[in-house]
Amino acid sequence: MPNKQQLPKQTELKILFAHGIFQLSDKFEQRNAGIAHTQSYTQEDTRLQIADADIAVISGFWRDDLLETADRLCFIQVPAAGYDQFDISKLRDAGVALATGRGVMANAVAEHALGMMLGFTRHLFTARDNQHKRYWRGMLSDSNVREDELSGKTILIYGFGTIGSRLATLAKAFGMHVIGIKREPTVGNTNADLIDTPNTFLQHLPGADFVVLTCPLTDETHNLIDSSTLDAMNPNGYLVNVARGGCVDMDALILAIEKKSIAGAAIDTTPEEPLPTESPLWKFENVIVTPHTAGDTRNYEDKVVDLLLDNLKILYSGGQNLINQII
């Protein structure tokens, strides 16, 4: 955490909001905080403006070489939960504190995951496709291919932080059996029928109707879903990834879909974004692709600004721990 003496007076503070889409600076202006601020909308603008910033609210535009010119920078507020783009050792050496936006998107991402699950069980996306064709499907005599219910199904959630915990609460409301995977099962609120450790993940896969990833991307979760985990899944089970694209081996997933070794998959993130147009994932009827929008809602900017203002209060009151502080 930066020393209080490193920070200028609040009247002299300069904040850089670096985001190409979301109007964070405009939302901050509405709070009448009396703090100078600006927004960069491109990587190039960020490079030009970072030298004047004491605080940066930044995620996708961050590159570690920005530290070479960011002499005034003392605190980075990440507007999202993920922070794998930051070299923690370099930030620590530079004396720059880092806090994430963990929790800002929790409800939105959890609802998105649940919506994907309902899309599969209620055949909502098939119905929309049929609507465009002006086709009235009618009732089905084969009960194995009809719409289904979430009640009584088992959801296996890998990553039981704010998003995973919120999803568990929603899933329980639908009458689902919830299993969570967490590094420290005894810490924090569970909202689950069972909390287990990552080394038990494989043994829970065969019994799960939905496997949902809500974890950060780390060395341990990189390609967490690969050929071995996909082979271990229930053949009637679905994979839902609202974590990071790097958590799933996409070649292995494509092969599993082609082999019909799982029922389907819903992905909000991919290792390469946008998803290349030549990817087979676009064409599969049992795959749902959303363009990394799980956390995007009308409330997003306000939630980020609320978190930033709370952390500013802590910084200027001499507090020792920022909200969601990493370093």
- Tens of pLDDT, residues 91-115: 999 999 999 999 999 999 999 999 9
- Same domain? 98 vs 111: no
Q: Is the pLDDT of residue 5 over 70?
A: no
Give me the mean pLDDT over the 257-276 stretch: 98
- Same domain? 30 vs 96: yes
- Same domain? 160 vs 229: yes
- Same domain? 121 vs 39: no
Which CATH number do you get for residue 229?
3.40.50.720
- Same domain? 301 vs 266: no
Structure tokens at 21: 């889409």
Could you read off the pLDDT of 128-152 as tens digits, one per residue?
A: 999 999 999 999 999 999 999 999 9
Task: Compute the CA torsion angle 130, 136, 137, 138 (nearest 10 deg).
Answer: 150
- Same domain? 230 vs 117: yes
Q: What is the pLDDT of residue 186?
A: 78
Question: H/E element holding 37?
Answer: strand 36-40
Could you read off the pLDDT of 269-313 as tens digits, one per residue?
A: 999 999 999 999 999 999 999 999 999 999 999 999 999 999 999
User: DSSP state, 325?
Assistant: B
- Same domain? 110 vs 100: no
CA distance linking residue 190 with residue 180, whole number of Å = 8
Across all residues in the chain, what is the average pLDDT? 96
Whether 325 maps to a domain, the answer reads: no
- Same domain? 75 vs 161: no
CA distance linking residue 63 with residue 211, whole number of Å = 33
Q: What is the pLDDT of residue 189?
A: 63
Rg (CA), the chain: 22
CA distance linking residue 271 with residue 233, whole number of Å = 22
Whether 188 maps to a domain, the answer reads: yes
- Same domain? 148 vs 246: yes
- Same domain? 153 vs 267: yes
Could you read off the pLDDT of 237-254 as tens digits, one per residue?
A: 999 999 999 999 999 999
The b-or-e profile of 46-57 (16+ CB within 10 A means b, else e) is bbebbeebbbbb
Q: What is the pLDDT of residue 190?
A: 73
Q: Is the pLDDT of residue 236 over 90?
A: yes
Helix 106-121 to helix 162-173 angle (10° resolution) is 40
Q: What is the pLDDT of residue 191?
A: 87
Whether 117 maps to a domain, the answer reads: yes
CA distance linking residue 103 with residue 307, whole number of Å = 10
Q: What is the pLDDT of residue 4?
A: 43
Q: What is the domain range of residue 46? A: 4-104+297-316
CA distance linking residue 218 with residue 216, whole number of Å = 6
Give me the mean pLDDT over the 8-25 stretch: 96
Residue 53 dihedral angles phi and psi, to the nearest 5°? -95, 135
Give me the mean pLDDT over the 58-72 stretch: 97
Q: What is the pLDDT of residue 319?
A: 87
Could you read off the pLDDT of 42-55 as tens digits, one per residue?
A: 999 999 999 999 99
Beta strands at 36-40 and 194-196: parallel, antiparallel or unpaired: unpaired
Residue closest to 269 by CA, chosen among 239, 296, 248, 300: 248
Contact (CB, 8 A) for 288 and 116:
yes
Contact (CB, 8 A) for 185 and 197:
yes
Percent of the chain with pLDDT over 70: 98
How many Cβ atoms are within 10 Å of 323's Cβ, its own excluded?
A: 17
Q: Which residues contact 47 (CB under 8 A, 6 or more apart)?
A: 66, 69
Whether 150 maps to a domain, the answer reads: yes
How many Cβ atoms are within 10 Å of 124's Cβ, its own excluded?
A: 15
Whether 324 maps to a domain, the answer reads: no
Q: Is the pLDDT of residue 260 over 90?
A: yes
- Tell me whether residue 142 is exposed, middle or buried, using C-beta atoms within 10 angstroms of its C-beta: 0 to 12, 13 to 18, 19 or more: exposed
